[in-house]
Amino acid sequence: MARLGIDFGTTNTLAVVHDRGMFSIANHQASTGAGTIVQDAFPSAILIDGKSGERWYGVEADRRFAQLGPLCDGIYLPSLKRHLRDYVAGQRLSFAAGREGEADDLDVVELLTGFLSALAGSIRQSQGLADDEPLETVITWPANANGAQRHVTRSCFRAAGFQVLDTLNEPTASAIELADCLTAGRSRRAVTEPMAVAVFDLGGGTFDASMVWVEGQSFRVLASAGIESLGGDDLDQVLVNMFLDRLGGSPETVSPLTRHALLRQARSQKESISTGAVRSLFLNPMDFGLKGHPVSLPVDAYYERIRPRLAPAVVLLGEVIESAAKRQPNITEAGRLTVYLVGGSSKLPLVAEMVSAAFPDSRVVLTDKPFRSVAMGAAICAMDRVSYRDVFARHFGLLRLRDHGRVETFDTIFPAGTPIPRRGEPPLEKVARYHPAHNVGHLRYLECTAIGSDGLPADGVRTWSDILFPYDPAQSLTAELAPTEIETTDRFSNEPVCEVYRCDHDGVITVELRRPACRDARCYEIFSE
């Protein structure tokens, strides 16, 4: 039976298949007039015809848009994953459709499920799998992904026909891939001693940093953090802006489809730098329907423009290592720490230069397969070859009112750094008890990356569920309530309320709200709704 590890990336999605003891990359194909295109990356892109509404996904979407570019009469949606960053239930996206400029409104869940269904079909075709053969899969997401993003990703994978065995943070998957390579002896010198791996994961849409302690086949995440708005897409946009500056234009002066075509060209130019032989970057505006002479930019000038954007990622990696050292002091011992550069944008020589300068006493390793590392680590996990423990990258909790409703405070349920249970372990549990000062409880859940001196969320705030819970024993637990029905009262202050929070190995959080006086309770899954 084949099992999969899937890296749903911002730019590309990759699947590694384990079958009969062998790991292989699932190939994807598209037919053209000149023959069949076969590649291991399934572009995270959707193309929608502006007239018929027909949709193409992955390789076919990328191929068709590459042919048509700005002349495309429809909607081109690359970097699908970026639209999940601020996802809320029912979210829709508006686009200018093709040359007609008509607005089109599309449901995010429908788009993602359609894309993943096409991915499932392509994997089945590549591996010769029957339609009824289970696609048992470990999926990955950014370490800094918010709760709503995790929920909708997992739900859409299941709706697309994948059996989600487990979920895994992307940097953890990369650490597993590296450690498996070293401990299995596939390197020149197999490693058997415990090791510390700091993962620097610069993908297409996000930056993630994780510190992982490795002992044999056991992986423990000590600390994790990320930057949501830093990735290869942002570095591509910098290059596009530099080209347009030379042409006397700006991003606002070009159509969305022209901008996508320019970004595609910028990505290709950026990736060419990794060879080490390229000294200048080139754009012919005529290829994109723009006026002007061909533009050539020195690579050094591009480096100077993106260096300030990369600097916060290097600083954040240092903060993650420092935080992890409080839990495992010996990670900073000489020769103990390996910094692993993964993600497509880590191929830029400037990245290795900046990281090496910041951590001179560490071994810096750049994977030879930056696009495959995450999927390979997930596939290793799918075969139950390793055990691992992740941590909360954000603080999770809810806003409460104290001092009879005069003061708002943030009650942290699971602080950042809290270990998440391994698969097979009982859920993490926390209990809160109190005497209510209202007839209805308004529980407002959220997460954040930092808490201010006033005790309130200060940075990276993402809202989760709002739950209205009746404290009045006369009201049914299933009654539909509205915030306007909330009244301040001490009538129920003698009726204690109990909140039981549980977090499973997927990081899914539920709350069981109990009214002991009535001996009844209701359970909710908490996510952005």
pLDDT digits (tens, 9 = 90+) for 224-269: 888 878 899 999 999 999 999 999 888 878 888 888 889 989 999 9
150-155 long-range contacts, Cβ below 8 Å, gap at least 24?
150/506, 150/507, 150/508, 150/527, 151/508, 151/527, 151/528, 152/84, 152/87, 152/89, 152/108, 152/109, 152/112, 153/8, 153/84, 153/112, 154/506, 155/109
pTM above 0.85, yes or no: no
Q: At what angle do helices 58-68 and 256-272 cross, to 10 degrees?
A: 100
**Which residue in this structure is represented by tokens 């909330």?**
486
Bin 369: left if φ > 0, else alpha if -120 < ψ < 50, else beta.
beta
Domains of the chain, first to last: 3-167 (3.30.420.40), 182-226+311-371 (3.30.420.40), 232-304 (3.90.640), 395-526 (2.60.34)
Beta strands 74-77 and 35-39, pairing class: unpaired
CA angle 142, 147, 148 (to 5 degrees): 105
Q: Which residues of the chain have pLDDT under 70?
A: 1, 33-34, 89, 95-104, 183-192, 334-335, 403-405, 527-529
Burial 177-215 (b: 16+ CB within 10 A, else e): bbbbbbbeeeeeeebeeebbbbbbbbbbbbbbbbbbbbe
- pLDDT value at residue 99: 41
Distances from the Cα of 188 to the Cαs of 98, 181, 183, 192, 215, in angstroms?
53, 10, 11, 13, 19
Query: Which SS3 state, helix, strand or coil, does residue 123 take?
Result: helix
| Contacts (Cβ under 8 Å, ≥6 apart) of 242 | 297, 301, 302, 305
Q: At what angle do helices 299-325 and 232-247 cross, to 10 degrees?
A: 160
Q: Which two tokens stand for residue 255?
A: 């159509």
Half-sphere exposure of 293 (CA within 13 A, CB side): 2
- pLDDT value at residue 504: 85
**Which residue in this structure is represented by tokens 């909708």?**
152
Helix (H) or strand (E) holding 410: strand 407-414
**Which residue in this structure is represented by tokens 């990359």?**
25
Bin 259: left if φ > 0, else alpha if -120 < ψ < 50, else beta.
alpha
Distances from the Cα of 330 to the Cαs of 266, 325, 340, 393, 422, in angstroms?
42, 7, 18, 22, 24
Among 365, 320, 6, 349, residue whose Cα is nearest residue 181: 365
pLDDT digits (tens, 9 = 90+) for 276-301: 788 999 999 998 888 899 999 999 99
3-state helix vs strand vs coil in the chain, percent to 5: 30, 35, 35
Give strand ranges (E) for 116-194: 135-141, 162-169
Measure CA 425 to chain center.
24
- pLDDT value at residue 389: 78
pLDDT digits (tens, 9 = 90+) for 125-139: 988 888 888 899 999
Among 168, 144, 172, 171, residue whose Cα is nearest residue 157: 168
| Contacts (Cβ under 8 Å, ≥6 apart) of 97 | 48, 50, 74, 75, 103, 104
